[in-house]
Structure 1
Amino acid sequence: MKKIILILFCILASVQGCTDDLNTEPLVEQSLDDLLANDPDAVSGILSRLYASFALSGPDGPSSGDISGDTGESPFLRGIINLQDFTADGMKNRWGDDGLDQLTTTSDWDENNKFFGYMYNRIYYTIPQANNLLSILNSVSIDGQDQVVGEVKFLRGLAYYYLIDTFGKGVLVTENEIGVSAPLPEATRAELFTFVENDLLEAEALISNTKSYGRANKAAVQMLLAKLYLNAEVYIGEDRYSEALTFIKKVIDEGGYTLAPDFVSNFSGDNDSSSEIIFTLIADSETSQSYGNTTYIVNGSMGSETMPIINFGAAEGWSGHRATKAWYGLYEDNDDRGELFWTEGHNYEMADYKAWTDGYPSVKFRNSGFSTTLPATTFSSTDFPFYRLADAYLIYAECVLRGAAGGDASQALNYVNEIRQRSNANTIGLSELTLDFILDERARELNLEGQRRTDLIRFGKFTGSSYIWPWKGNTAQGTSIPDYYNLFPIPLSALEANPNLNQNPGF
């Protein structure tokens, strides 16, 4: 009888990305029939654990860990913020941690940086969980099976998307490789892209339009497909902007989402009521505590020596993250989004990225309620808006500007101006709607949402000297960095575990 594994685990020889502590025997095994007889919601519980792998450190609170290493540093979302935002132009961290310093200054990257290892291992912890659940679902019949399969394929695709984006290659392991002991071959970026594309297309056909907060629906799958296609020119050297536009139009036209009336409501402790958020990672100060969800963003951006942190719902301030002028310098005086920085006691110029008072902390994310009164807490209850409608609007506009078939320039302008009007920014005319404008508008609207590095790479602005920001290349005024920094180095532990893997060029 088919077994369901309650503690989903990965096999080191099959995946080559997991650490020894994950190569464990399952604690409980039952037949699926017995399990469902005792708990009809058992599969939903296992699926919830799969969702949680993107935000939590482990199953038993903030001190538990799914992968080896510091349980506070290693969660998936924290890795996304570190690798997407702190390596880019907008945000810098001041703690001086070995590894994090190298990210925030885009310098001295190598295969031993623990933060590259955390991301790689998180990816290859999540993928086997999805594979195990798909293996079970492929051999049984349960109510709502297509929906669950669609969600699992989406989550697996999301993990692979970050592999494609950050490391550019790895091993391709599916439910068909469960139990394989031989090291798997290296998969190219193009091979991974094709697999994820096909898997997500299958997921889109299976999953429903129904909105269930914290769970993926058809619009979430379409957002991920649109992002995959949007970056295809970087990932596989192909223009796929027309496909990106096709799927983003589905999100906009069929998803049933609307812009939240107030920008800040999307980033407050009661943002579960937002009409704009398409897919979210749930946080709760009591039931889903983590140092790696929005707690990292909120507490990390608060410092009691210069700020009234309780006003933003924080009981702790870690005095870590400050914005550079490359972000807050983009706003017009009347743009409400430009007011979401704490300036009192802080310097405009970031002469020293390790000085708390150099640069402006962002208060975009806060743990206080927008429409309700919430107490200040140590852990954040602000859900992370992984995908939201404003991003879809900006993707639409970018695709139109890049020549995608089926778009309309006037509609693109309307979408951009809707976003700007919400924040009282000046509307623009069609002649002002350029790709450079879109890149800046994405910074104004989406910074600290885990997208900036990918955006800069897509626009050809991350490496080289065409765009310089404070502390790029570890100099205060910024300097050029090499093109091979468009990918991260494969961690040494992965290379040692699988002789089929080769290091990315330049490292």
Structure 2
Amino acid sequence: MKKLNKIYIGALSTVLILSACNKQLDLKPFQQIQQSQAILTAQDVQITLVGAYNRAGLSDLYGGGALLYADLMATQTVLDWQGTFQGLTQMVNQSIPIDNGFVNSTWSDGYQVINQANNVLANLSKVSSANAPRTEGEAKFLRGLTYFDLVRLYGKAWNDGDPNTNLGVPIVLTPTTVITSASYVSRSTVAQVYQQAITDLTDAENKLPATNSFYANKYSASAILARLYLQKGDYINAATEANKVISSAKFSLNANYADEFPYPGGTAVHVDNTSEDVFAIQVTGQQGTNAFNTYFASSDNAGRGDIIIKDSFLGDFEDADARLGIYNPDSDGNLRCDKFDNEFGNVHIIRLAELYLIRAEANFRLGTATGAAPVDDVNVIRTRAGLGDLAEVTLDDIMLERRHELAFEGGFFLHDAKRLQQDVGALPFGSNKLVFPIPLQDINANPKLIQNPGYGN
């Protein structure tokens, strides 16, 4: 459960945290250790890298929170919130104060990942020449992924005003081990943060292997780049990166939609990534939390049952759509999204189906057919859903497939609305209320930080 009494000081107080679970990752666990004592060997660098994955999997970041919180701000018409956590209720009400604990923790967790990655990159000389490219690639993948999501949450959308002047988040590229005046970093612009994420992810794509167990591989980087370029409106690069993943033949859609969300039945059994997962955060009974399960699943499946799906959300599905089977009433009769019933299910950060839809949309907007015609990519998704092929597609068709295929998985309700310049509930897409505030604790700690518009200090 959420521990509201945990206080972090974000980027400014993030020191070297080396933590891993030997049950999940077969490495000795560490707590806080001085850098001069901690990173002495190649094994220490690997432990630090594993610590970055560990931080990424925290519940307020890629353990689900950073994805869920975006959707809570944008799904008033499709879900009912029954939760008692005030901080999440504030998101649903689109009225977030500057001391919201969940907003603070997402920021803090993100900068912990970034700091861990920076420690890895600062110590690559200790890694063998054979392992250095992979190690560098994984660290840059995690840093680039995190910067992309932080700037989407704490900065204006790329197409909302001028990204060259709108403020994003601070860019920190060296390890923070002690706090000095040099630790006070200003916010970079949205454009600068996007470029840093692109640089990191491109480097990762070039240095990572094609397969890398459940860790990030080159196609994980390609996939996040495709998502980033789509968010930016760079459709040429979005299609190119999505095509790299699809044409690699390293991934395949599950035959049945529900199989992407495996449920072993209430036991603490870890389920490996499916053939469709391009990158996922690993969750086990001993390590990690799936925040989606916490809030979406009812007590029947170890959750709080805070989110109830409105019946009206199912109204625009075709009757034969197999994806309808993922929505079912619980024992109390409330409609649930069963994607998250597994308490120890992995958090799907990006999967192959999204890449088909990115490629379809980018090609449609460009009038091109990189890899495939848009209608063919859409029909791949429809076929798996048990639906007949379309003879042609419109942009509305593609967006409807995104809505049905990816619902509730990754903040798509908010981020798609912003890039499409659509209203979010009663608010216009560019409302200041749809951007997280910079946490009060960081504003107080760092005199160079400027608060977002609409939030008093």
TM-score tier after normalising by the smaller chain length: 0.7 to 0.9
What amino acid does structure 2 have at the position aligned with 1:302? A
Asked if the contact 2:229/2:237 (under 8 Å) is kept, the reply is: yes
**Deviation per CA, 1:291-321, whole angstroms, max 9, x where unpaired?**
xx2xx323533335xxxx3xxxx3x342211
CA separation of 1:502/1:273 partners in 2, compared to 1, >3 Å: closer, same or farther? closer
What amino acid does structure 1 have at the position aligned with 2:115? P
C-alpha displacement at 1:140, in angstroms?
Answer: 5.1
CA separation of 1:391/1:25 partners in 2, compared to 1, >3 Å: closer, same or farther? closer
What amino acid does structure 2 have at the position aligned with 1:153? K
1:290-301 paired onto structure 2 within 5 Å: 290=289, 293=290, 296-301=291-296
C-alpha displacement at 1:411, in angstroms?
Answer: 2.5
User: In the alignment, is residue 386 of structure 1 matched against residue 349 of structure 2?
Assistant: yes
Secondary structure of 2:374's partner? helix
CA separation of 1:138/1:93 partners in 2, compared to 1, >3 Å: closer, same or farther? farther
Instruction: Give, in whole Å, the separation in 1 of the partners of 2:298 and 2:448.
Output: 46
Asked if the contact 2:137/2:205 (under 8 Å) is kept, the reply is: yes
Asked if the contact 2:45/2:127 (under 8 Å) is kept, the reply is: no
Asked if the contact 1:331/1:444 (under 8 Å) is kept, the reply is: yes
**Deviation per CA, 1:249-290, whole angstroms, max 9, x where unpaired?**
1111125211111111111146525211111111112x3143
Aligned equivalent of 1:461: 422
Match of 2:64 among 78, 90, 93: 78
Secondary structure of 2:195's partner? helix
What amino acid does structure 2 have at the position aligned with 1:51? Y
Aligned equivalent of 1:121: 108
C-alpha displacement at 1:75, in angstroms?
Answer: 5.0
1:18-417 paired onto structure 2 within 5 Å: 18=14, 26=33, 30=37, 35=41, 41-56=43-58, 74-89=60-75, 90-105=78-93, 107-138=94-125, 141=128, 143-168=130-155, 169-175=168-174, 181-182=181-182, 183-213=184-214, 215-233=215-233, 240-269=234-263, 271-272=271-272, 274-285=274-285, 287-290=286-289, 293=290, 296-304=291-299, 309=300, 314=301, 316-325=302-311, 327-343=313-329, 357=334, 360-367=335-342, 380-403=343-366, 407=370, 411-417=373-379
Instruction: Give, in whole Å, the separation in 2 of the partners of 1:344 and 1:120.
Output: 34
**Deviation per CA, 1:110-164, whole angstroms, max 9, x where unpaired?**
3222222121111111111111111111465454110110011000111101111
Instruction: Give, in whole Å, the separation in 2 of the partners of 1:196 and 1:344.
Output: 41
Asked if the contact 1:242/1:406 (under 8 Å) is kept, the reply is: no
Which one has the largest radius of gyration?
Answer: 1
TM-score, normalisation: structure 2: 0.81
Greater shift in the superposed pair: 154-163 or 109-118: 109-118
Secondary structure of 1:82's partner? helix
**Deviation per CA, 1:225-259, whole angstroms, max 9, x where unpaired?**
111111114xxxxxx11011111111111252111
Asked if the contact 1:300/1:321 (under 8 Å) is kept, the reply is: yes
Greater shift in the superposed pair: 259-268 or 450-459: 450-459
Percent identity (aligned): 28
C-alpha displacement at 1:443, in angstroms?
Answer: 1.7
Secondary structure of 1:272's partner? coil
Unaligned stretches of 5+ residues in structure 1: 1-10, 58-73, 234-239, 348-356, 368-379, 464-471, 474-478
**Deviation per CA, 1:36-58, whole angstroms, max 9, x where unpaired?**
5xxxx54433322211212236x
CA separation of 1:344/1:78 partners in 2, compared to 1, >3 Å: closer, same or farther? closer
Aligned equivalent of 2:449: 501
Unaligned stretches of 5+ residues in structure 2: 1-7, 19-30, 156-167, 265-270
C-alpha displacement at 1:196, in angstroms?
Answer: 1.6
Asked if the contact 1:327/1:444 (under 8 Å) is kept, the reply is: no
State the number of aligned residues.
Answer: 413
CA separation of 1:17/1:339 partners in 2, compared to 1, >3 Å: closer, same or farther? farther
Asked if the contact 2:273/2:346 (under 8 Å) is kept, the reply is: no
Asked if the contact 1:280/1:385 (under 8 Å) is kept, the reply is: yes
Instruction: Give, in whole Å, the separation in 1 of the partners of 2:340 and 2:344.
Output: 11
**Deviation per CA, 1:378-410, whole angstroms, max 9, x where unpaired?**
xx23112211110000000110122176637x6
TM-score, normalisation: structure 1: 0.74
What amino acid does structure 2 have at the position aligned with 1:460? Q
C-alpha displacement at 1:16, in angstroms?
Answer: 3.4
Match of 1:490 among 421, 438, 442: 438
Asked if the contact 2:53/2:113 (under 8 Å) is kept, the reply is: no
Aligned equivalent of 1:16: 12
What is the CA RMSD across the aligned residues, in angstroms? Answer: 3.0
Asked if the contact 2:242/2:358 (under 8 Å) is kept, the reply is: yes
